[in-house]
Chains A and B, each alone.
Chain A
């Protein structure tokens, strides 16, 4: 966080994680997205596509249907739809009912 004081000088404050991030080995600097999955927040890998998400969750793809932000992602399109920050994802299946 940075601001200019009364004399016009730039002042900067660094949060506690800053130096950790600077000195962290590059291989651990994965970017993640925050999405909402079935009503709960979840972190997923950046640039993940829908069918990868289904696979990551170890779900049989033919047993689930997927909505992103209230719109169906048809099974034929799942590999082409990339998730974005804040997406609201619903993963549904068929269960017993009358």
Chain B
């Protein structure tokens, strides 16, 4: 008996992921909550940031002590980089730390909007690909930008639904649909702006291959409960997409048969039975 919910894995570089939810490790109350939320979410891939060692607190616990690298693919990001050079340096450092070449590139334009700088993003992508990295690229929901990044050899394009941490969901679903039409050589993963489970579900229903989120879980009133909601939403949305939902119609399409009605009902009168 085949599994009606069978799905292929999400391929990112050398990694094969069963869950299509990618979860960040920032902004939780403590490391224990982080680890628990990741577990509840069912994710197989977690993002981390690269920062200076805190020399005063260097003897304390580290995030890496709480993340099982056998269980999760650890995806370093270049959050906080505002130019291509520092983003490339960050990736080089993270490759030395983790021994893997999968990175998530962010080259930001300004601190208020945290919107990606398109020119810096393209430069860094080209440089990182030439240095042998598998680059997943955070970008705006501009379809032409996504096409450019895919042509440069990005491992995934990651258009934002709305600004990072803003909880506005997918502001421009049609842009995401066009990106999905135009980008065929790598997965499209919505990154940034997710707030609720319905946002995750909506993203997958459009056909995206993955969703990355952090604040929606970490800053929820009950992060563990929200992690469970997001896990279910990812599944519901992805299965809806794979199941081929009905189209929207202007008029009704009866769910019950239109023949065999007993006499005296308007449908039987229309069929000529008295």
Bitwise, B163-195 to A at CB < 8 A (1) or not (0) is 011000000000000000000000000000000
Q: Which residue of A lies closest to B80 (CB)?
A: A97
Q: Are A96 and B97 in contact (CB under 8 A)?
A: no
> A81 at interface (Cβ–Cβ under 8 A)?
no
Instruction: Please measure, in the bound complex, the distance between the C-alpha atom of A94 and the C-alpha atom of B93, giving whole angstroms.
Output: 10
Instruction: Please measure, in the bound complex, the distance between the C-alpha atom of A58 and the C-alpha atom of B52, giving whole angstroms.
Output: 15
Q: Which residues of B contact A38 (CB under 8 A)?
A: 52-53, 55
Q: Please tell me which one of the listed residues B34, B64, B74 contacts residue A63 in the complex, with CB atoms under 8 A apart.
A: B64
Q: A38-B55, A57-B55, A58-B58 are in contact. Are A98 and B47 (CB under 8 A)?
A: yes
Q: Are B63 and A96 in contact (CB under 8 A)?
A: yes
Q: Please tell me which one of the listed residues B47, B64, B92, B97 contacts residue A97 in the complex, with CB atoms under 8 A apart.
A: B47
Bitwise, B43-86 to A at CB < 8 A (1) or not (0) is 00001111111010011001110000000001011010000000
> A45 at interface (Cβ–Cβ under 8 A)?
no
Q: Which residue of A lies closest to B52 (CB)?
A: A38
Q: Which residue of B lies closest to A73 (CB)?
A: B96
Instruction: Please measure, in the bound complex, the distance between the C-alpha atom of A91 and the C-alpha atom of B74, giving whole angstroms.
Output: 20
Instruction: Please measure, in the bound complex, the distance between the C-alpha atom of A63 and the C-alpha atom of B99, giving whole angstroms.
Output: 12
Q: Are B58 and A97 in contact (CB under 8 A)?
A: no
Instruction: Please measure, in the bound complex, the distance between the C-alpha atom of A57 and the C-alpha atom of B55, giving whole angstroms.
Output: 7
Sample of 16 A–B contacts (CB below 8 Å): A57-B53, A58-B58, A59-B53, A64-B97, A90-B52, A93-B50, A94-B74, A94-B94, A97-B25, A97-B47, A97-B48, A98-B27, A98-B47, A98-B77, A98-B165, A98-B215
Q: Please tell me which one of the listed residues B26, B59, B97 contacts residue A98 in the complex, with CB atoms under 8 A apart.
A: B26
- Quote the shortest CB–CB distance from B206 to chain A (angstroms): 21
Bitwise, A44-58 to B at CB < 8 A (1) or not (0) is 000000000000011
Q: Which residue of A lies closest to B67 (CB)?
A: A94
Q: Are B59 and A97 in contact (CB under 8 A)?
A: no
Instruction: Please measure, in the bound complex, the distance between the C-alpha atom of A97 and the C-alpha atom of B74, giving whole angstroms.
Output: 11
Instruction: Please measure, in the bound complex, the distance between the C-alpha atom of A72 and the C-alpha atom of B97, giving whole angstroms.
Output: 11
Q: Which residues of B contact A75 (CB under 8 A)?
A: 96
Instruction: Give 7 closest A-B pairs by Cβ, nearest first.
Output: A97-B49, A98-B214, A98-B24, A96-B25, A65-B93, A96-B26, A97-B26
- Quote the shortest CB–CB distance from A81 to chain B (angstroms): 13
Instruction: Please measure, in the bound complex, the distance between the C-alpha atom of A62 and the C-alpha atom of B24, giving whole angstroms.
Output: 22
Q: A57-B55, A59-B53 are in contact. Are A94 and B96 (CB under 8 A)?
A: no
Q: Which residues of B contact A59 (CB under 8 A)?
A: 53, 58
Q: Are B53 and A96 in contact (CB under 8 A)?
A: no
Instruction: Please measure, in the bound complex, the distance between the C-alpha atom of A58 and the C-alpha atom of B62, giving whole angstroms.
Output: 13
- Quote the shortest CB–CB distance from B227 to chain A (angstroms): 14
Q: Please tell me which one of the listed residues B34, B96, B213 contacts residue A96 in the complex, with CB atoms under 8 A apart.
A: B34
Q: Are B97 and A94 in contact (CB under 8 A)?
A: yes
Q: Are A72 and B92 in contact (CB under 8 A)?
A: yes
- Quote the shortest CB–CB distance from A69 to chain B (angstroms): 11
Instruction: Please measure, in the bound complex, the distance between the C-alpha atom of A76 and the C-alpha atom of B230, giving whole angstroms.
Output: 41
Q: Please tell me which one of the listed residues B62, B93, B164, B215 contacts residue A92 in the complex, with CB atoms under 8 A apart.
A: B93
> B28 at interface (Cβ–Cβ under 8 A)?
yes
Instruction: Please measure, in the bound complex, the distance between the C-alpha atom of A38 and the C-alpha atom of B53, giving whole angstroms.
Output: 8
Q: Are B214 and A94 in contact (CB under 8 A)?
A: no
Q: Are B96 and A91 in contact (CB under 8 A)?
A: no
